[in-house]
Amino acid sequence: MVKIRLKRLGSKRNPIYRIIVIDDREKREGRPIEELGFYNPRKKELKLDKTKAFDWVKKGAKPSDTVNYLMDNSDDYGNLVRKQAEEQKISKKARAKAEAAAKAKEEATAEETKEEAKSEV
């Protein structure tokens, strides 16, 4: 079976990966069928030929989980697009404090609308 996976290059504690098409019986650093691009995780740098990658997927090549993530999160030119988290993770105490503040603000606006209604009458 043909797979699209990463081939590790670089020195110790400084990995750089090539995105390659290879037979799954080959070693990780084995001879690839084709090289599709590279990925540097330390600099969050990616260059990928997406058209060739999707052509190989159509032919039956199975991308690894990491390569699949990189293919999904790259733009049309093959550059990595980092998606920011929409919601920040906060502690339970901070969340409770924020909810209490929002509730107090809601009650204050409700009281103001009641006072405005009384003053109109």
Instruction: Enter the CATH code of domain 2-72.
Output: 3.30.1320.10
Percent of the chain with pLDDT over 90: 54
Q: Report the alpha-carbon distance of residue 110 to residue 99 in Å, rounded.
A: 16
DSSP per-residue codes, 82-105: PPPPSS----HHHHHHHHHHHHHH
Q: What is the pLDDT of residues 26-67, one digit of tens each?
A: 887 788 999 999 999 998 899 999 999 999 999 999 999 999
> Residues 7, 29: contact at Cβ < 8 Å?
yes
Q: Report the alpha-carbon distance of residue 106 to residue 38 in Å, rounded.
A: 52
Q: Letter for the amino acid at 63? A: P
Angle, alpha carbons 110-111-114 (nearest 5°): 90
pTM value?
Answer: 0.65
